[in-house]
Amino acid sequence: MKFSLSWLKQYLETDATIEEIAAKLNAIGLEVEGVEDPAEKLAGFRVARVLTAARHPDADKLQVLTVDTGEGEPLQVVCGAPNARAGLVGVLGLPGATVPANGLVLRKSAIRGVESNGMMCSTRELELGEDHDGIIELPQDAPVGTPFAQYHGADPVIEVAITPNRPDCMGVNGIARDLAAAGLGAFKPIEPLDLPGTFPCPVAIRIEDAQGCPAFYGRVIRGVKNGPSPQWLQDRLKSAGQRPISALVDATNYLMLVSGRPAHAYDLAKLSGAVVARRARDGETVVALNEKTYTLDAEMTVIADEAGVHDIAGIMGGAHSGCGDDTTDVLLEIAYFDPERIARTGRKLNLTSDARSRFERGIDPAFLDTGLEHLTKLIQTLCGGEASEVVRVGAPPSTPKIVHFAPALVARLGGVDVPLAEQERILASLGFSVVASEENGEPRWAVTVPGWRPDIDGAPDIVEEVVRIHGLDKVESVALPRADGVARPTATPAQTLERRVRRAAAARGLQEAVTWSFLPEAEAQAFAEGPLWVLANPISEDMKAMRPSLLPGLLMAAKRNLDRGAAALRLFEVGRRYLRGAGGASDEKLTLGLVLAGEKTRRGWATGKASAFDAFDAKAEVLALLAEAGAPVDKLQVMGEAGPQFHPGQSATLRLGPKTVLARFGMLHPQVARQFDVDGAVAMAEIHLDAIPGRRGAASFARISYAPPALQAVTRDFAFLVPAGLPSGDLVRAVQGADKANIVGARLFDDFRGQGVPEGHKSLALEVTLQPVDKSYKDEDLKAISAKVTAAAAKIGAVLRG
């Protein structure tokens, strides 16, 4: 919501400065997003008179002007405007001034060899209008030498962010009411008028959809003369970010911006028969004022006549019946529409407007007559004309909302003591009425809520109104009570696990990314394991489906970075993926996603050519992070079926048993890479953190610290001949389980295939770590353990090399 200071002061009698007003707006919960002072933009521009105008010696379309600035000697200015002439009073931009329209900083310069000391400006260059055919022409009595901002009367503009629960502040009048209640001046409300019509309304008005449109008031004004609005009205609309169109249209917009009450004017000559508020018919279409065609359905309310639809009720009028320069008779419409119906229609049509933003928040149902009278008066003032009698069909909701309120709640809920008289003053100044009584010796109030505050539902809302006007800064900061002793940890096991793996990933040189939980539907479908959760009313098409995996978001982030020249990317994210189970049940899974893209190593004299990431890099990261998460990595099995998003033959899963998948890793499938438009080799992985089981008798596999053993460990190397297709992990697990009392670790350190190794076989060398407990090993102990290792390996087809 934007408005100028002078506009605000039409409804608020105050001497407060713009800075004081902005501070008070923030204090009462109306956040000021910005204050724009045109005087700052017009600094360096002043009223000046052209003394002489002569043709430029080297340019036919340029003139050399001598300009009186009111100070010192006249300045020489080169100008190309066709209306530049001796005696003209205009606006001169001096050297050092910045042209508002394009940011050009003026300076003394030579134009075609002739010195120029500034620039004579047009309306568009100063952002005061669209005229660019010539320089500004001011009245002859304009004071030469006066700063133009002072002469023009630059009016500061305030922009306020209005939350959805404050429809009363969608008009300047409502904001003035809040400021007056906060003590910043005297409120000047919009008073009712009495403008009786002089002839019966010639248009029949009916309501056939009483649920969507409970009330429809209208009247005709005949004999109007449409045209441009006066400058004061155009300035008001521009300050609010509205484009002036014509007097008739501007009048309806002005009423909306003042009171928060939308209205509409139809060209009577373009209507046929009765005007009806009804349900649209399925498939019915209308061309709106934005020149787009919308297809309607039977759940939408429209304003129509015998020829068809003219208005998407409460959202946007139709192009066919809009007012133009040739309009002579108008039908004014002020109606009350159901807020929920307006919101649903707007979402279905993906159509937003100033009217919709007000109707769906809720407008004052009691303002129909007053609004229609003020709109009538404004149109007659601007365009003339004779008004008919008012036709009133239906009735808006009229039952007042009464909230039973205990004033003591202000101290209990708001944390500040506000005297009863001050509470009553605040509520009265905001438009509430109070009837006081007592119950068990305690004051009890029946507070009647004004029609412009549909957001007030109960006593806590009344407390909020009192406290925000009294002053949130007066609420004392009180620390929460704390029990004696050391505070107990509050993080859940899942939160602890999430923090641990996040820190471990960062420590390993991975860069954390935070991506959206919503994805484009096509990208989400590429990683879906079943039906997607798709939003019916997404923010945009790029945020339509809830992510079934963290990988598509990371791939999109990787592409953006690679496109901007990133050489290497090691991205990870910890978050939740959203799966749609049987019967529409929602299932959230805590997951760590990982993407490695670009160059693993840069080219150099020691490394040679640059190398890319491969599936083993992703596997190494996964194993390290699983170990940090406390998973029993020595018990994991490497199996296939990583998913169609992974390159077959270059991907796998890590499982704890055949069914429990803890992670999947590998290279991105080329077809998926093309879909995401990612070039080069990409390794990726996904760790299912919530699939990691807990220790027996413990909440998780979290690492347990322990003192190192007293006796030194012993290592022994074994080399086995195994079939070439045997996974090395199978051999490692077999050896590690050969003697669980003594073998504490086994790792592969060599994989050889070549001379001396039979065809169809490979040589795998393992380092086995033995840990004595009570006494050091003797030779016979080591021989016995070695025999167990050899026997365990033989069970899976491994033969000890000679």
Residues 239-254 have pLDDT tens digits of 888 889 999 999 999 9
The string over 98-117, giving b where at least 16 C-beta atoms fall within 10 Å of a residue's C-beta and e elsewhere, is bbbbeeeebeeeebeebebb
What is the CATH code for 40-152?
2.40.50.140
Instruction: Determine how β-strand 545-546 pairs with β-strand 157-161.
Output: unpaired
Q: Where is the binding site for Mg(2+), in residues?
A: 455, 461, 464-465
- Domain boundaries 401-473, CATH class: alpha beta
Interval 296-323: pLDDT, tens: 999 999 999 998 999 999 999 988 888 9
List, in sequence order, every residue forming a beta bridge with 92; answer none if it has no partner: 46, 120
Across residues 533-560, what is the average pLDDT? 91
CATH for 493-691, options being 3.10.450.50, 3.40.50.300, 3.30.930.10, 3.90.79.10: 3.30.930.10
CA distance 613 to 430: 66
Beta-strand runs (E) in 235-295: 264-267, 275-279, 285-287, 293-295
Which residue do the tokens 């006796």 mark?
Answer: 711
Residues in the chain: 802
Rounded to 5°, the CA angle 441-446-450 comes to 155
Q: What is the pLDDT of residue 334?
A: 96
Assess whether pLDDT exceeds 80 at residue 435: yes
Q: What is the pLDDT of residue 634?
A: 81
Q: What is the pLDDT of residue 440?
A: 86
For domain 714-800, give the fold.
Answer: Alpha-Beta Plaits (3.30.70)
Interval 193-212: pLDDT, tens: 999 999 999 999 999 999 99
Interval 633-673: pLDDT, tens: 888 888 888 999 999 989 999 998 888 999 999 999 999 99
Q: Look over the chain and give the mean of its residue pLDDT values, rounded to a whole number.
A: 91
Indicate the SS3 state at residue 231: helix
Q: What is the pLDDT of residue 321?
A: 87
CA distance 122 to 129: 9
Across residues 209-220, what is the average pLDDT? 95
Interval 589-602: pLDDT, tens: 999 999 999 999 88
Interval 333-360: pLDDT, tens: 999 999 999 999 999 999 999 999 999 9
Across residues 135-161, what is the average pLDDT? 89
Task: Provide the 10 A C-beta neighbour count for residue 71.
Answer: 10
The answer to whether 504 and 510 are in contact (CB under 8 A) is: no
Q: What is the pLDDT of residue 401?
A: 94
Across residues 569-589, what is the average pLDDT? 86
Across residues 731-757, what is the average pLDDT? 91
- Pick the closest to residue 508 from 751, 685, 681 (CA basis): 685
CA distance 61 to 777: 105
Percentage above 70 pLDDT, the chain: 98
Percentage above 90 pLDDT, the chain: 73
The superfamily CATH assigns to domain 205-394 is Phenylalanyl-trna Synthetase, Chain B, domain 3 (3.50.40.10)
Interval 414-431: pLDDT, tens: 999 999 999 999 999 999
- Pick the closest to residue 689 from 490, 494, 492, 514 (CA basis): 494
pLDDT band for position 696 (cuts 50, 70, 90)? low
Q: What is the pLDDT of residue 704?
A: 47
Assess whether pLDDT exceeds 60 at residue 291: yes
Indicate the SS3 state at residue 293: strand
The string over 230-263, giving b where at least 16 C-beta atoms fall within 10 Å of a residue's C-beta and e elsewhere, is eeebbbbbbbbebebbbbbbbbbbbbbbbbbbbb
CA distance 552 to 341: 37
Residue 212 CB contacts under 8 Å (≥ 6 apart), including other chains: 277, 279, 300, 301, 313, 337, 338, 341
The answer to whether 249 and 357 are in contact (CB under 8 A) is: no
> Exposed/middle/buried for 675, CB within 10 Å: 0-12, 13-18, 19+?
middle
- Pick the closest to residue 562 from 685, 681, 684 (CA basis): 681
Task: Provide the 10 A C-beta neighbour count for residue 325.
Answer: 11
Q: What is the pLDDT of residue 116?
A: 94
Distance of CA 736 to the CA centre of its chain: 54
**What stretch of H or E contains 438?**
strand 433-439
Q: Supply the DSSP string of 626-655, one letter for each residue.
A: HHHTT--GGG-EEES---TTEEEEEEEEEE
Instruction: Determine how β-strand 511-512 pairs with β-strand 568-580.
Output: parallel
Across residues 579-594, what is the average pLDDT? 83
Which residue do the tokens 């005087």 mark?
Answer: 39
Phi, psi of 667 (to 5 degrees): -90, 150
Assess whether pLDDT exceeds 50 at residue 159: yes
Across residues 555-578, what is the average pLDDT? 93
> Exposed/middle/buried for 401, CB within 10 Å: 0-12, 13-18, 19+?
middle
Interval 17-54: pLDDT, tens: 999 999 999 999 999 999 988 778 888 999 999 999 99
Query: Against a cut of 0.85, is the pTM above it?
Result: no
Assess whether pLDDT exceeds 90 at residue 488: no
Across residues 532-557, what is the average pLDDT? 91
Higher pLDDT, 709 or 58: 58
pLDDT band for position 573 (cuts 50, 70, 90)? very high
Phi, psi of 89 (to 5 degrees): -105, 120
Indicate the SS3 state at residue 717: strand
Task: Provide the 10 A C-beta neighbour count for residue 92.
Answer: 30
Assess whether pLDDT exceeds 90 at residue 378: yes
Q: What is the pLDDT of residue 3?
A: 93
Assess whether pLDDT exceeds 70 at residue 699: no
Across residues 707-718, what is the average pLDDT? 86
Q: Supply the DSSP string of 726-771, one letter for each residue.
A: S-HHHHHHHHHTS-TTTEEEEEEEEEE-STTS-TTEEEEEEEEEE-
Q: Where is the binding site, in residues?
A: 455, 461, 464-465
Assess whether pLDDT exceeds 90 at residue 622: yes
Q: Supply the DSSP string of 300-357, one letter for each residue.
A: SEEEE-SS-EEEETTTEEBSTT---TT--EEEEEEEE--HHHHHHHHHHHT---HHHH
Listed by start position, the domains of the chain span 2-37+156-187, 40-152, 205-394, 401-473, 493-691, 714-800
Interval 250-270: pLDDT, tens: 999 999 999 999 999 999 999
Q: What is the pLDDT of residue 225?
A: 95
pLDDT band for position 439 (cuts 50, 70, 90)? confident
CATH 3.30.56.10 is the classification of domain 2-37+156-187 = yes
- Pick the closest to residue 99 from 70, 75, 132 (CA basis): 132
Domains 205-394 and 714-800 share a fold: no
